[in-house]
Structure 1
Amino acid sequence: MKQQLTNADIFKVMEAWAPKSLAYDWDNVGLQIGSNNRPVKKVMVTLDVLEEVADEAIANHVDLVIAHHPLLFKSLSRIDTEQPKGRTIQKLLAKNISVYAAHTNLDVAAGGVNDMLFEALQLQDKEVLLPTQAEELYKLAVYVPISHQEDIMHAWAKTDAGHIGAYSHCTFRTQGKGTFKPLEGTNPYIGKQQEISFVDEVRMETIVKKSRLADTIKAMIAAHPYEEVAYDVYPLENKGELMGLGRIGTLEKQMNLKELCEFVKTALSVPAVRVTGDLTKSIKKVAVLGGSGEKYFMDAKRKGADAYITGDVTFHAAQDAEQIGLAVIDPGHHVEKIMTVKTQAYLREKFPDLEIITSNVHTEPFQFM
């Protein structure tokens, strides 16, 4: 009989992708409403948690809502159930619907919102626009009988250990002789109690991201035949993948600013964009940052961007960008809705038997006339 999934199971998988440690300190990510131990049979992914989204979750008998924008962002001084926010909280609590938010951590994470936008725009030669940190790396070494070395390698690979650049299943192996003496009360895989055993073993080494270290060790122990697994963990000075907000890259084919605007509308499914700059200007290098990114336009310029795509650009920021020759395309904040389908696909891969839907509520507040 399969064990019932709980919120904690879903949260663990989300945080393997977008660790909460990646979130900005002003952000509020993780569990918003509910509890870690609540059972889950149906999940809904949404950009925002508005009252209409809560109604949709109730109508669809959802147990857990995963959102990009936190429902509880600023501190609440009261929950007034005559107001939309209060009613939303009340409805969710009354139906035991949990809410979890992955916000700036999902923006920063590899494969997160900014990578989704980068891919949608078919950009190439990807770089991080605003680096915040590099993934810490560890060397993991284990001693295993020769017969089980492939089992260990594949167990590591399933937790994303052994990745170096575009290569997976990276290990180094040294053969030697292992010795041990099983004492009273043991149940050795090889050898007998009170006798010293000499076994042909392999020392296997691989590289592991800090965020996956615990899962990798757990998988390794499960695949290892011994009662007691001998392994070593070493912190490394070399750093892993650079992470941060925004991405910058090059267009597959150079186009002018007007053509790029039309392309952005199609690629991000928006009816209109706001744009600054000469529409005949040739564009090759493009920076993109989901959400509100106007304060980072100088970073885009310093990195050589011809155009910067971001939302919520204000009048003076647009003027300042125009003055330094940087074209700005504002498709709105709502383009972050791209995370719903991608997050659904990620969770379906991890939980093939779990029902996962995306919200059909349109949460874009603006209409284009």
Structure 2
Amino acid sequence: MKEQSKEKLTGSIVRQRMEELAPPALAESWDNVGWQVGGDTVEVRAILVSLDVDQEVVEEAARHRATLIVAHHPILFRGLKRIDPTTYQGGMLRRLLCEDISVFAAHTNLDAVRGGVNDALAEVLGLVPTHPLQAVRGAPEGWGFGAVCEMDSVTTEEMVRRVVQALGVAQPRVTRGRGATPQHQRVALLGGSGASMIDDALRAGCTLYITGEVKYHEAQDAARAGLTLIEAGHFHSERPVLRRLVDWLAPLGVPIVESTQVTSPFEADWKEGVG
């Protein structure tokens, strides 16, 4: 793709570039991907990429003079009936509009593609995906949610060490499967919330599942089924994709900045920072 630096970059060009990476048709039916604030006609002078959009991220975008935030998580999931600037969300939307900053989101469509969230997570952990945990109907072969990775052998302790070093997690939560082997040759992973694919990991013959987070009872069920879990945290398990987004958008010819904001609500993540 030719760089666009010699002419005005519009939102439509950025949207087309993002849809080439993460086609919106792959998004889950409940999801809200694409433009959240702004649209195809906006002028894009610099881009900030971030997992989330909160008031600190908006401030960061303003400092970098970014007129577009490309985010993983949408800021609008339900139809708005009122914007109250005295609320957190209303104040943030007001700031975005006043600063002339647009927002574009690629969420479950970025989860489902090759080169997306799960490939980025696998790469930093030194794993090589062979196929998805759950295929997406109508998508190219090898695309889907999560990933199954095969290797000669790796211990739970070694994978915990990789999670700590590669993702900057102080203390991943580990749930050891009942009667599980200490050596793993088939590992499942899913960035973000992974409880819904525990059964997929078991059906795939995995003995270790690395994900962002699962709930209490789902972790119990996984352990009883013999599946060991490593929870790296939602924020940390998805953050590796930001570097891929920076690289993907670089040919557009405007400054592309990776957010340094820790948008996780958990205090342990604030203390660790993003490393």
TM-score of the superposed pair, with normalisation by structure 1: 0.68
Counterpart of 1:355, as a letter, is: P
CA distance in 1, matches of 2:113, 2:32: 16
CA distance in 2, matches of 1:311, 1:20: 23
- Of the three residues 236, 260, 264, the one matched with 1:360 is 260
Distance apart, 1:125 and its partner CA: 5.3
1:220-231 pair list within 5 angstroms: none
Partner of 2:137: 133
Partner of 1:189: none
Distance apart, 1:271 and its partner CA: 1.3
Larger strand percent: 1
- Post-superposition Cα deviations, 1:168-227, rounded to whole Å, max 9, x if no partner, equal xxxxxxxxxxxxxxxxxxxxxxxxxxxxxxxxxxxxxxxxxxxxxxxxxxxxxxxxxxxx
CA distance in 2, matches of 1:74, 1:308: 31
CA distance in 1, matches of 2:128, 2:242: 23
CA distance in 2, matches of 1:70, 1:57: 16
CA distance in 1, matches of 2:9, 2:234: 33
Partner of 1:337: 239
Counterpart of 1:264, as a letter, is: V
Match of 1:123, SS state, is: coil
- Of the three residues 4, 11, 22, the one matched with 2:8 is 4
CA distance in 2, matches of 1:48, 1:248: 27
Distance apart, 1:365 and its partner CA: 1.4
> Retained in 1: the 8 A contact 2:129–2:147?
no
Distance apart, 1:124 and its partner CA: 2.9
Shift in CA distance, 111/65, structure 1 to aligned 2, threshold 3 Å: same
> Retained in 2: the 8 A contact 1:275–1:330?
yes
- Of the three residues 150, 156, 169, the one matched with 1:250 is 150
User: Are 2:61 and 1:42 equivalent residues in the alignment?
Assistant: no
Match of 2:192, SS state, is: strand
Partner of 1:52: 56
User: Are 2:2 and 1:100 equivalent residues in the alignment?
Assistant: no
Match of 2:168, SS state, is: coil
Partner of 1:18: 22
User: Are 2:73 and 1:80 equivalent residues in the alignment?
Assistant: no
CA distance in 2, matches of 1:344, 1:260: 27
User: Are 2:186 and 1:285 equivalent residues in the alignment?
Assistant: yes
> Retained in 2: the 8 A contact 1:134–1:243?
no
Shift in CA distance, 58/125, structure 1 to aligned 2, threshold 3 Å: closer
Match of 1:72, SS state, is: coil
CA distance in 2, matches of 1:109, 1:329: 23
- Post-superposition Cα deviations, 1:3-33, rounded to whole Å, max 9, x if no partner, equal 3110110110110110100100000000000
Counterpart of 2:215, as a letter, is: T
> Retained in 2: the 8 A contact 1:294–1:311?
no
Partner of 2:169: 270
CA distance in 2, matches of 1:40, 1:124: 35
CA distance in 2, matches of 1:286, 1:38: 43
Identity percentage of aligned residues: 40
CA distance in 1, matches of 2:66, 2:94: 15
User: Are 2:65 and 1:61 equivalent residues in the alignment?
Assistant: yes
Decide which structure has the larger Cα Rg and report it.
1
CA distance in 1, matches of 2:230, 2:181: 14
Match of 2:200, SS state, is: helix
Distance apart, 1:267 and its partner CA: 2.2
Match of 2:36, SS state, is: strand
Partner of 1:193: none
CA distance in 2, matches of 1:125, 1:92: 38
- Structure 2 residue runs of 5 or longer lacking an equivalent are none
CA distance in 1, matches of 2:157, 2:171: 12
CA distance in 2, matches of 1:242, 1:25: 21
Shift in CA distance, 342/2, structure 1 to aligned 2, threshold 3 Å: same
- Structure 1 residue runs of 5 or longer lacking an equivalent are 136-239
Pairwise CA RMSD of aligned residues?
A: 1.8
Shift in CA distance, 41/90, structure 1 to aligned 2, threshold 3 Å: same
1:143-222 pair list within 5 angstroms: none
